[in-house]
Amino acid sequence: MGAALSACAGRPGGKDTDLPCVLLVGLDGSGTTTILYHVKHGKRLETIPTLGMNKEVVKVDGMDFELYDVGGLEKVRALWRTYSKEANGVAYVVDSSDPSRLPQAAEELKKLFFGDKKKKSLIVPDIPLLVLANKQDLPEAVSIDQIANDLELHDLPVRNYKVLPTVATDGTNLRDGFKWMVDQLKLYGYS
């Protein structure tokens, strides 16, 4: 299941393939790995927390692209910057059933796009951002409007963003989300 500890298509040194790369990240427990394998295999697979990263080539709406799931544990989040160097898009997963962690999710998303006091961002501005508001099936889930507001998406240097309510365990809206990402990648000239 995926290649461990390799960078986006041979990155950070350079690409091994011509496929676009989408970075799939979120805080620990948000559901990134479940999403990765549901998009790849069309069904739920049992997963364990990602300690490094998982990589899969997936096909959505006729386009192959590399989907990199980088772990969300606090000690692993520093890897997000490494794997973001040549990302063509970002899919950010939020556990919408845990509103107490939305400020932390917002802070980590800002670090990804703006860097922090010690390090600058490596993401090229003007790439598409897909926010997957996961776990919408749980009674505590907050609305996608609240998530968009709390993440302050309008302040990010992205070309376009979309927020979708999702349920990773049954695949709700995952294909729609990644179809939107494919449409955005096509605007950049990928086919």
Is 126 annotated to bind ligand?
A: no
Is 52 annotated to bind ligand?
A: no
Is 32 annotated to bind ligand?
A: yes
Is 33 annotated to bind ligand?
A: yes
Is 23 annotated to bind ligand?
A: no
Is 137 annotated to bind ligand?
A: yes
Is 183 annotated to bind ligand?
A: no
Is 169 annotated to bind ligand?
A: no
Is 29 annotated to bind ligand?
A: yes
Is 28 annotated to bind ligand?
A: yes
Is 75 annotated to bind ligand?
A: no
Is 26 annotated to bind ligand?
A: yes
CA angle 95, 98, 102 (to 5 degrees): 75
Annotated binding residues for GTP, as ranges? 26-33, 72, 134-137
Annotated binding residues, as ranges? 26-33, 50, 72, 134-137
Annotated binding residues for Mg(2+), as ranges? 33, 50
